[in-house]
Structure 1
Amino acid sequence: MRHSDVITLPKLLTRVPDVLGHLPALLKGSRMSKITDTAKPVGLGVAFERAAAEHPAGIALIQDERAFTYRTLNGWANRIAHYLASLGLTKGDTVAVNLENRPELLATVIACAKLGVCAALLNTSQQGKVLVHSINLVNPKAVILGAEQRAVIDAVRDQLTPDGPFLFFADQDTLADPGEAPAGYVNLAEVIRERPDENPASTYHTFLRDPLFYIYTSGTTGLPKAVVFNHGRWEKAYGGFGYSSVRLGDQDRLYCTLPFYHATGLVVCWASVIAARGGLVLARRFSASGFWHEVRKHHCTAFGYVGELCRYLHEQPERPDDADNPVHTIVGNGLRPGIWKPFKRRFAIDRIAEFYTASESNVAFTNVFNFDNTVGFSPVGYAIVKYDKDAERPLRDRRGHMVRVGKGEAGLMLGEITDKTPFDGYTDPDKTEKAIFRDVFKKGDAWFNTGDMMRDIGFRHAQFVDRLGDTFRWKGENVSTTEVEQMLDDSGPVVESVVYGVEIPGTDGRAGMAQLRLDRPHEEVDWVAFTRALQRALPPFAVPVFLRVIQGGVQTTGTFKHQKNTLKEEKYDLAKVGEPVYVLLPGERTYQPLTPDIQQGIDQGRYRF
């Protein structure tokens, strides 16, 4: 941890004038983030109708050359809602939605929200048995898909069990021209044309605990879990980000390349725009080379990021006009400390509204005070507790209670489960219960286990350290993949790294392995100097044993998170990898190319690691 990252009282006081200037909005956002009234209508449908009434002619959404006012988008959503209601869909039902980032997706989601119908937002990269699992898991009354997803649906349609029709949007501007639907599908754009565009009465019958979305997260079995995201959580994000953290205005436009099956784009970015009555500029997909062109073209003053997106932008060739852009605020999570300040300087960004939460989490942090290298401040109940990595559980004192860490220390982040911060859980009750710690500080209390290691840096601010699942054990020590990645990324030839643990026969734990993308051919790297630099920077147990060198980009998920499961399975097996692998053998002073003979020796235990 950098000493400069600790929040002191003098540092905090320097930010007070800016915070006081936004105090009314901050207070409003704080009240909304703590809402407990179960009889008050809340949620996406309510908020969007209010925005449409107050700012009907304002631009709500832009994609390419298509622009939609709040009035137009609201009316479109209403027609979809009235049609879905005519099919018998009512509050509490579920619809599976499989659309890429398109205006049709947003109109569909708003429509479902107005009806109280839960939209199960499918990851558009899913196919085969994973897609079948995700759809059948939520027992949908209908499936709504775009033509771009037809092939993957057709491939498994005989295995799907929706209790209703398959509704279809052609891959075009369906407001201007509905297009045609293939046999076996209902053309949704066509059947809604004669439906009324008035707001349905059902909008004001969605309350705090009513489901709004299903968002899919990775499951331990390899199959996704469907996480309930209700109207109350959306309302809290709407207040917390829209009013307290991001703080846009009605002339602002936020550029979003993040997939809307993920909460950062769908909830954080979009709620921030709706709260401001501003405009969302929605990209179908991310392009590092075209990013700033689109930002300037549409006069975007903010953008959303997650994972490695900012790194990809930072790696683009520098241009004299990098700082000449309209962006003043960015919002997201996963901006690494190594590029935080350089990125901010290069592109002249005023505010980085980094945040921390998860689709299922009941605790959130937002960078309200605009400090560097922090996920920000949390107004809700949380605790960072001491964690025994050897025993893989939190420490408890002699009374059986967990122990909070001190300032500057790292531990496991827990979110207190209360009426104001409920844990809504998963579709599987057993998985829900496994995520809860009970009797943490007193008899009868309950806390959500985030599974994340965080550092307390003072004044209710925290710094992300690592995910427990990304920590592995080697030579009796725990290795943080995040810390090793940061060290590798700071070394000369490495552009990007992914660190993970792999099993070696006859050894305990997992040996470190890193996938590397280099700035030069691997044959031109001074591996002796590289090895020395790593050994100086890292303790011996944390120095990776294996290096896997790739030519193209590091494989990521749709939300720019590194995919490690496949890498762990392939490990250092030359028959599976198909790329150069280097190994640091015991007693050697440098990495050397892994050969079939050396691999055989490792697997047969001829080397004592």
Structure 2
Amino acid sequence: MSNADLITLPKLLARVPTVVANLPGLIKGSKMSKTSDTTKPLGLALGIQRATEMNPNGVAVLYQDMQLTYRQFNAWSNRVADFLLSMGLKKGDSIAVNIENRPELLATVVGAAKIGVCSALINTSLRGKVLVHSFNLVQPKAAFIGAELVDAIEEVRDELELAGERFYCWADTNTLEDPSTVAAGYQNAAEVIRDCSSENPEQASRIFLNDPLFYIYTSGTTGLPKAVVFTNGRWERAYGAFGYAAVRLKKHDRLYATLPFYHATGIVVCWASVIAGGGGLVLARKFSASRFWDDIRKYNCTAFGYVGELCRYLFEVPASPSDRDNNVHVMLGNGLRPSIWEAFKNRFGIDRVVEFYASSEGNAAFTNIFNFDNTVGFSPISYSIIKYDKERDEPVRGKDGFLVRAGKGEPGLLIGQITAQTPFDGYTDKSKTESSILRDVFEKGDSWFNTGDLMRDIGFRHAQFVDRLGDTFRWKGENVSTTEVEQILDAAPGVVESVVYGVEIPNTNGRIGMAEIRVDGDHQQLDWHAITEYLKGALPHYAVPGFLRIATQAMDTTGTFKHQKNKLKEQKYDPTLHDDPVYVLLPGETCYQLLSREMFDAVERGDYRF
């Protein structure tokens, strides 16, 4: 940590005029972010209806050549809601939603939210048994599938626990103008809602704080994805904290969103910020570094959402005289690396970076409302950063039996106090919920959520992200479960045993996957093409390990048979630190190959764009 990153009183006071100018929004947003009234109607459905009343003819959604006003979008989602009601769905039921970033995804989710039905936002990269697990976990009463993902569903259709007539498909077209046809075995979603009511359903005014809105999947540390309950109350808090207090978009603003909307950063933080101001959401199917700024200019965007990797890709594109030819004044997201933070702002002419820290399941959150550099921001809610023993993999307790707070600037484990204002809604699996709670932390009877993240206090309730603990690491903006990858890798041809971990490589954000594997026979005789194809077919692209280390001796384990990963993480893929052969899947290559010294040097120089 640089001393320049510390927040001092003079630095804070210098930002006061800006804060005062935005005081009404800050007060309103702060109040909303702490809401605990269980009798007040709130949530996504009412947020959309409020924006429609505020700006009925304003642009709500832009996607390719499709443009919808708030009145049009609200009416569309109402028809979805009316159809779900006609099926007999009610508040508390869930539907599976597997659609890529396009307006049909938004209409489906809002339509469900209007009547209190929870949308399970399935990661569109999932295939095979992980897709089956994620789908069946929430026991959906219906499934809405994008035509672009029908092939993935069909591969496992027989294992999905839902009646065949309950599968609906949105054609991969502008379905408001061209409902087209859909695959056999699916009902056409555009056709079945066509004659439904476009009026706001009365149920939208009976959605409250604790009513579920989404299931958002997180990798966790114990294997297959966990479905996190994201309530309407949590959405309302984000709507206030980001929409009114931090981002402060207006009717004329347009936010460019390329992040996948099965993640909370996209569907909650970015979209709620747009809805609060009655502005426009410009939705892109996928991120493209070469097309990014052209789209920003084409759609006259004034804001965009990001994760750290996105910014790195944009920064790696050769500088151009047109870099500052844009109207963006604010960027919103998480993971912007300190090494490029200031340079990125300067190169592209960005005034404000609303960096934030939050998780789909957690109750601790920070937002950079004061626009400082190199910080996840400020938190008004109850949190603490405690000392953590990485060798013993547990928090440090003092002689009195209570946990010990870390000092200013000292890395420690971030925990969030569980209260009525900052609840921990938990997972579908109650045992996983309980394992995430620390009890008797600073006094008998208190309870705190364990974020699993190391942070440091940099002053005046500001924090700086340090690292992620446990068996989950972050790569390409996604959480990767080492246990899940190990289960897949252990079944690869010729692999006997594996241990997976994340390692840092130069000029990248996060950690790329690496595994130590024990193989049956000579590693040079393995069918590496078959192994590569198997892993690419069984795992999302971001979870496929970049490096495979061949274990030439017995793997180190603890007394409870847990693999010792610390040493492996330290040695990484460096041939000077161990004698084991290492295979690498280089960017653009179709097969793992033995890592040579020349390749290692090239990786360290940053010659390859992982």
Given the two structures, how large is their TM-score scaled by the length of structure 1? Answer: 0.83
1:498 Cα deviation after fit: 3.7
Residue correspondence of structure 1 range 510-589 to structure 2 within 5 A: 510-511=567-568, 512=570, 514=572, 551-552=586-587, 577-582=592-597
Distance 1:376 1:344 in 2: 17
Contact 1:210–1:231 (Cα < 8 Å) also in 2: yes
**Alignment partner, residue 44 of structure 2:** 44
- Residue 203 of structure 2 is aligned to residue 168 of structure 1: no
Change in CA separation of 1:187 and 1:32 when aligned onto 2, cut-off 3 Å: same
**Alignment partner, residue 370 of structure 2:** 369
- Residue 281 of structure 2 is aligned to residue 277 of structure 1: no
- Residue 389 of structure 2 is aligned to residue 405 of structure 1: no
Change in CA separation of 1:61 and 1:14 when aligned onto 2, cut-off 3 Å: same
**Alignment partner, residue 138 of structure 2:** 138
SS at 2:41's partner residue?
coil
Contact 1:38–1:208 (Cα < 8 Å) also in 2: yes
Change in CA separation of 1:284 and 1:554 when aligned onto 2, cut-off 3 Å: farther
**Alignment partner, residue 419 of structure 2:** 418
**Alignment partner, residue 83 of structure 1:** 83
Provide Cα deviations, 1:433-463, integer angstroms capped at 9, x if missing partner.
0000000000100000000000110100000
Residue correspondence of structure 1 range 25-174 to structure 2 within 5 A: 25-162=25-162, 165-174=166-175
Contact 2:221–2:470 (Cα < 8 Å) also in 1: no
Change in CA separation of 1:496 and 1:54 when aligned onto 2, cut-off 3 Å: closer
Residue correspondence of structure 1 range 437-448 to structure 2 within 5 A: 437-448=438-449
Change in CA separation of 1:413 and 1:125 when aligned onto 2, cut-off 3 Å: same
Distance 1:130 1:332 in 2: 27
Residue correspondence of structure 1 range 427-466 to structure 2 within 5 A: 427-466=428-467
1:294 Cα deviation after fit: 0.3
Distance 1:497 1:46 in 2: 39
Contact 1:237–1:267 (Cα < 8 Å) also in 2: yes
Provide Cα deviations, 1:328-363, integer angstroms capped at 9, x if missing partner.
100000111111111111101100000001100111
1:181 Cα deviation after fit: 2.6
Distance 2:416 2:515 in 1: 29
Change in CA separation of 1:61 and 1:495 when aligned onto 2, cut-off 3 Å: closer
Distance 1:238 1:23 in 2: 17
Distance 1:499 1:134 in 2: 22
**Alignment partner, residue 211 of structure 1:** 212
Change in CA separation of 1:506 and 1:140 when aligned onto 2, cut-off 3 Å: closer
Distance 2:509 2:392 in 1: 35
Q: Which amino acid aligns with 1:577?
A: Y
Distance 1:471 1:199 in 2: 42
Q: Which amino acid aligns with 2:592?
A: V
Consecutive unaligned residues in structure 1, runs of 5 or more: 473-479, 517-526, 532-540, 556-575, 585-589, 594-609
Contact 2:243–2:249 (Cα < 8 Å) also in 1: yes
1:186 Cα deviation after fit: 1.2
1:272 Cα deviation after fit: 0.2
Q: Which amino acid aligns with 2:100?
A: E
Contact 1:49–1:74 (Cα < 8 Å) also in 2: yes
Q: Which amino acid aligns with 1:173?
A: N
Contact 1:499–1:514 (Cα < 8 Å) also in 2: no
Number of equivalences: 531
Provide Cα deviations, 1:295-325, integer angstroms capped at 9, x if missing partner.
0000001000013000000001110111121
Distance 2:286 2:602 in 1: 39
**Alignment partner, residue 3 of structure 1:** 3
Contact 1:237–1:268 (Cα < 8 Å) also in 2: yes
Contact 2:502–2:511 (Cα < 8 Å) also in 1: no
Q: Which amino acid aligns with 1:414?
A: I
SS at 1:49's partner residue?
helix
SS at 1:95's partner residue?
strand
Q: Which amino acid aligns with 1:172?
A: T
Provide Cα deviations, 1:219-257, integer angstroms capped at 9, x if missing partner.
434311101000000000000010111111111100000
Distance 1:366 1:495 in 2: 20
SS at 2:339's partner residue?
helix
Contact 1:513–1:544 (Cα < 8 Å) also in 2: no
Distance 2:580 2:594 in 1: 16
Change in CA separation of 1:497 and 1:212 when aligned onto 2, cut-off 3 Å: closer
Change in CA separation of 1:154 and 1:420 when aligned onto 2, cut-off 3 Å: same
SS at 2:412's partner residue?
strand
SS at 2:91's partner residue?
coil
**Alignment partner, residue 183 of structure 1:** 184
Contact 1:353–1:366 (Cα < 8 Å) also in 2: yes
1:549 Cα deviation after fit: 6.1
1:583 Cα deviation after fit: 10
Change in CA separation of 1:79 and 1:481 when aligned onto 2, cut-off 3 Å: closer
**Alignment partner, residue 521 of structure 1:** none
Q: Which amino acid aligns with 2:593?
A: G
- Residue 246 of structure 2 is aligned to residue 245 of structure 1: yes
Identity of aligned residues (%): 58
1:405 Cα deviation after fit: 1.1
**Alignment partner, residue 476 of structure 1:** none
Distance 1:115 1:279 in 2: 24
1:546 Cα deviation after fit: 8.6
**Alignment partner, residue 12 of structure 1:** 12
Distance 1:213 1:40 in 2: 19
Residue correspondence of structure 1 range 295-374 to structure 2 within 5 A: 295-374=296-375
Distance 1:496 1:80 in 2: 39
**Alignment partner, residue 389 of structure 1:** 390
Given the two structures, how large is their TM-score scaled by the length of structure 2? Answer: 0.83
Contact 1:514–1:546 (Cα < 8 Å) also in 2: no
Distance 1:258 1:592 in 2: 30
Distance 2:272 2:589 in 1: 31
Distance 2:585 2:13 in 1: 47
Change in CA separation of 1:133 and 1:549 when aligned onto 2, cut-off 3 Å: closer
Q: Which amino acid aligns with 1:347?
A: F
SS at 2:470's partner residue?
helix
SS at 1:149's partner residue?
helix
Contact 2:418–2:424 (Cα < 8 Å) also in 1: yes
Distance 1:46 1:180 in 2: 32
